[in-house]
Amino acid sequence: MKNYDIEATWHYHNGTKHPNGMLLNRFHVFHPSHRPTPYKIYKNAPQVSLPLDKNPVGTFTLDAISTIYNTSNSTILDLGTISKVLYFSSGITKKIKFPEPLGEVDFRAASCTGALYHIEIYLVCSNISGLDAGVYHFDPKHMRLDTIRLGDFRGYVTSSTADEPFVRQASAILIFTDVFARNSIKYQSREYRHAFWDCGTIISNTLAITSAHKISSKIITGFIDLQIGKILGLDIREEAPIVILPLGTTNHDAPACPSLQEAIPEAIASDYEIEYPEINTMHDASCLLTETDVESWRHEITREQKDSTNIIPLGKNVIPKEPLEQTIIKRGSTRKFSLESITLDELSTILSQSTKGISADFANSESLSDIYIIANAVDGLESGSYYYVKEKNSLEQLRKGNFRNASGNLGLDQDLPYDASVAIFMLIDLDKMLKQFGNRGYRVAQLDSAIIGGKMYLASYALGLGATGLTFYDDIVTNFFSPHAENKEAMFLIAIGKKEKPT
Ligand SMILES: Cc1cc2nc3c(=O)[nH]c(=O)nc-3n(C[C@H](O)[C@H](O)[C@H](O)COP(=O)(O)O)c2cc1C
Instruction: Report the run of H or E that residue 208 belongs to, with start and end.
Output: helix 191-212
The answer on 251 and 327 residing in a single domain is no
163 CA distance to ligand 1 centroid (A)?
37
For the segment 178-236, what is each residue's pLDDT rounded down to a tens digit? 999 999 999 999 999 999 999 999 999 999 999 999 999 999 999 999 999 999 999 99
- How far from chain centre, in Å, is Cα 345? 26
In terms of residue numbers, what domain contains 18? 2-297
Which atom of ligand 1 is least distant from the CA of 110? 27
Average pLDDT over residues 97-102: 91
For the cut 80, the answer to whether the pLDDT of residue 409 exceeds it is: yes
289 CA distance to ligand 1 centroid (A)?
34
Q: φ, ψ for residue 481 (rounded to 5)?
A: -95, 5
Domain boundary among 297, 329, 364: 297
The answer on 290 and 372 residing in a single domain is no
Q: φ, ψ for residue 55 (rounded to 5)?
A: -65, 140
Number of domains, the chain: 2
One-letter-per-residue 3-state SS of 296-363: HHCCCECCCCCCCCCEEECCCCCCCCCEHHHHHHHCCCCCCECCCCEEHHHHHHHHHHHCCCCEECCE
Instruction: Report the run of H or E that residue 172 belongs to, with start and end.
Output: strand 172-179
468 CA distance to ligand 1 centroid (A)?
6
The answer on 483 and 401 residing in a single domain is yes
For the cut 80, the answer to whether the pLDDT of residue 327 exceeds it is: yes
334 CA distance to ligand 1 centroid (A)?
9
For the cut 90, the answer to whether the pLDDT of residue 22 exceeds it is: no
Q: Whose CA is nearest to atom 13 of ligand 1?
A: 470
The answer on 420 and 284 residing in a single domain is no
Instruction: Return d(Cα 150, Cα 357) in angstroms, integer.
Output: 36
Q: Does residue 303 fall inside a structural domain?
A: no
Instruction: Return d(Cα 396, Cα 484) in angstroms, integer.
Output: 10
The answer on 126 and 8 residing in a single domain is yes
- pLDDT-derived band at 19 (thresholds 50, 70, 90) equals confident
Q: Whose CA is nearest to atom 28 of ligand 1?
A: 469
CATH number at residue 315: 3.40.109.10
Q: Whose CA is nearest to atom 17 of ligand 1?
A: 114
Instruction: Return d(Cα 387, Cα 372) in angstroms, integer.
Output: 5
Peptide bond into 46 cis (omega under 30): no
How far lies 237's CA from each of 178, 229, 377, 465, in Å? 10, 10, 45, 40
Q: Which of 90, 112, 477 to mutate to test the pocket of ligand 1 (most atoms within 8 A of CB)?
A: 112
Q: Whose CA is nearest to atom 12 of ligand 1?
A: 470
Domain boundary among 270, 297, 324: 297
201 CA distance to ligand 1 centroid (A)?
11
CB-based pocket (< 6 A), ligand 1 = 107, 111-115, 197-198, 201, 332-333, 412, 414, 416, 468-471
Instruction: Return d(Cα 471, Cα 490) in angstroms, integer.
Output: 10
Using alpha carbons, select from 409, 424, 408 the residue that is nearest to residue 465: 424
Q: Whose CA is nearest to atom 16 of ligand 1?
A: 113
Q: Share the mean pLDDT of the chain.
A: 95
Instruction: Report the run of H or E that residue 388 belongs to, with start and end.
Output: strand 384-389
